Amino acid sequence: MRLTTKPTEPILVSLAQEVVQLLSAGEIDKLAHRFGYAVKYDRDTATAIRDDLRWCLSNLGASSLSSTGSCSVPTVEHFKPNTNNLVAAISCIAYTNNGAELLISLIVTAVGDKYFVTLEDLYAPPAE
């Protein structure tokens, strides 16, 4: 998604919380349209998010994210100026219906004075 203002920490925290809310509510099409997905590869964006979420939940032994859309306080890490146009990374933990933790990460990029936030990845450690 393109930001209309410079990305401040409160804005980025709010966007991470929005992603968790959309995932928890099952609004994957809206999430895909609004944020995109960095690791979609050759897949449709919404399909890629659904598939990756399903895989993560399976690894966690969960069937869904918490219906409350609860998550940890998102953390924001700012990057030094670089040639990759990376500005910041945002991460938070979303909780599943069985209390397990799903890592959600977003990335902020810049092209000139235009800023973009993209859902980067969903991660769940493999089951042991």
pLDDT surpasses 70 at 15:
yes
- The 8-class DSSP code of residue 124 comes to -
Q: Does some domain include residue 106?
A: yes
Number of structural domains found in the chain = 1
Q: What is the pLDDT of residues 22-62, one digit of tens each?
A: 999 999 999 999 999 999 999 999 999 999 999 999 999 99
pLDDT digits (tens, 9 = 90+) for 57-77: 999 999 999 988 888 899 999
Q: How far is CA 119 from the centre of its chain?
A: 4
Task: Provide the CATH number for the domain around residue 61.
Answer: 3.10.450
Euclidean distance between the first and the last CA atom of the chain, given in angstroms as a whole number:
36
* pLDDT value at 8 more than 80: yes
